[in-house]
Structure 1
Amino acid sequence: MISITPNQLSPRDAYRLLNSTVVPRPIAWVSTIGADGSINLAPFSFFNAVSGNPPTVMFSISQRAGKPKDTLRNAQATGEFVVNLVDESLAAKMNQTSGDWAYGTNEFEIAQLETAPSLDVQPPRVARAPIALEARVSQIVPVLGTPNTLILGHVVRWHIRDDLLRPNGLIDATRLHPIARLGGDEYATLAAIFEMTRPTV
């Protein structure tokens, strides 16, 4: 068993080790709109659901060259975002939008992605995304001692592809074909699915 403490590693190596430890991670492909009306689309893999009532999601954003990234600037300015889920067919286009583009660049255009209008928030969604979550910012929380900021938002509307929602109200992951983030440049697809029932105590 190898034992490592963070102070044995450079910040970059600690980041890489953590990223490759906490796997697989779902990807939030977040669309936002700026105060000037510019549209932004960027992926984040520090992402998850944090509450069911009210439905709440969060993602974490690091800084870029010591400055807030476009997604954070836009969320602060407008208080809204859309989380688009990424399936296997959208992996390459998602990766295109991860570039360090200048503020105001429309990544929908960079990746040649069609937009679809949201109904309750301003930012558009990715038309081909199998699921999109419209959300309003509930909290923006700087992570003390780090260059990261957590954005939490209440989900105000789901957009779900017709074939994905089962009669029992659950998403059919075998049809969703989501991709997930691993360490480095690695991604994963969904492998075998199995069920376990919680024990009765």
Structure 2
Amino acid sequence: MISIKPSEMSERDNYKFLIGSIIPRPVAVVSSVSSEGVVNIAPFSYFNIVTSNPPIISLGIQRKNGVMKDTTRNILENKEAVVHIADEDNIEDINETAANLKHDESELDRTRWTLSPAEEIKVPLLNELKIKMEVSLYQHIPIDDEGSVTADLLLLRVEKYHIQENLYQDGRINPDLLKPMSRLAGNDYGKLGERVRIARPE
């Protein structure tokens, strides 16, 4: 067994260790709008559920040299976003939205996606993605490392769900029809794959 303290590793080596170990990770495709009205779209895999009562999800977004990502800035300015779930049918376009663009450029132009208005917030929905969650900012937690903010943890409250009709059956989402994609390390993604059912102990 190899034992290493994170403080003895570079930031990049810590990154590689974590993303190679904590797998698979769900992928959030987040749309937000800048103060200038530019639609920003970006995928994030530091993403998960926090609680269902109230419905809150988490989004961890690294800073680059201390500078906030556009998604973080937009959510802090407007207090809202739309979180979509990455799926197999859209993964090529999702990957395109990871491109490094200028603040005034929209990732939408790199995709085949179309937009429609949300119902509770002002950020648009991506029509082609199968699950969409309109969210509002619940809490922002800057991640401080020895006096320097290196990342932003956003807790987002779900205001409305939108689910492709055939996915939602008897109050449950059909994973085989959703075909979710997960993030691994490097350039790798994972499909749903084989499932194992194990009853919880009483």
Give the structure-2-normalised TM-score: 0.95
List alignment gaps of at least 5 residues for structure 1: none
Partners of 1:44 and 1:28 lie apart in 2 by 5
Using the aligned pairs only, state the percent identity. Answer: 33
Partners of 1:102 and 1:116 lie apart in 2 by 24
* Residues 64, 150 of structure 2: 8 Å contact kept: no
Aligned match for 1:179, one of 170, 181, 191: 181
Letter in 2 for 1:161: Q
* Residues 108, 115 of structure 1: 8 Å contact kept: no
1:123 match: secondary structure? coil
More displaced stretch, 51-60 vs 62-71? 62-71
More displaced stretch, 155-164 vs 109-118? 109-118
1:45-82 per-position Cα deviation (integer Å, ceiling 9, x unaligned): 00001010111111111113431110011001100010
Q: Given the alignment of the two structures, is residue 154 of structure 1 paired with residue 157 of structure 2, yes or no?
A: yes
* Residues 80, 136 of structure 2: 8 Å contact kept: yes
Partners of 2:164 and 2:93 lie apart in 1 by 19
Letter in 1 for 2:199: T
List alignment gaps of at least 5 residues for structure 2: none
Match in the other structure for 2:101: 101
Match in the other structure for 2:54: 54
Match in the other structure for 1:166: 169
Instruction: Count how many residue pairs are aligned between Structure 1 and Structure 2.
Output: 199
* Residues 28, 83 of structure 1: 8 Å contact kept: yes
1:97-147 per-position Cα deviation (integer Å, ceiling 9, x unaligned): 101111021111122321122111111111110100000000011122151
* Residues 27, 183 of structure 2: 8 Å contact kept: yes
* Residues 20, 182 of structure 1: 8 Å contact kept: yes
Partners of 2:104 and 2:48 lie apart in 1 by 27
CA shift for structure 1 position 195: 2.0
Partners of 1:11 and 1:102 lie apart in 2 by 25
Letter in 2 for 1:59: L
Identify, as 1 or 2, the structure richer in strand: 2
